[in-house]
Amino acid sequence: AAQPQAKAAGAVGCEAQGQGDGASLPPVVLSFKFAADFPLSPPFVRIIRPRLKGNFVFPNGALCMELLTTDGWSPANSV
């Protein structure tokens, strides 16, 4: 289950773990940064750990998803 954790102003961390089927995944820690005009603009989402490389994850952990761009975001989306 995801557990939000308070961070610096405008940022929230979230940690999720695998569920008990014996093949648990390592925790995934995300960082969300929300602009002052959220939900009109998308949040900035970064993977803190584990360190993932390639595909849609930049070296700094930032996620590359159309949903997280100004063109793909809608205020009706939820986080």
Rounded to an integer, what distance in angstroms lies between the CA atom of residue 25 and that of residue 47?
Answer: 15
Report, as residue numbers or ranges, the catalytic residues.
64
Torsion sign, CA atoms 3, 31, 59, 39: positive
- Look up residue 76 and give its two tokens: 């009706």
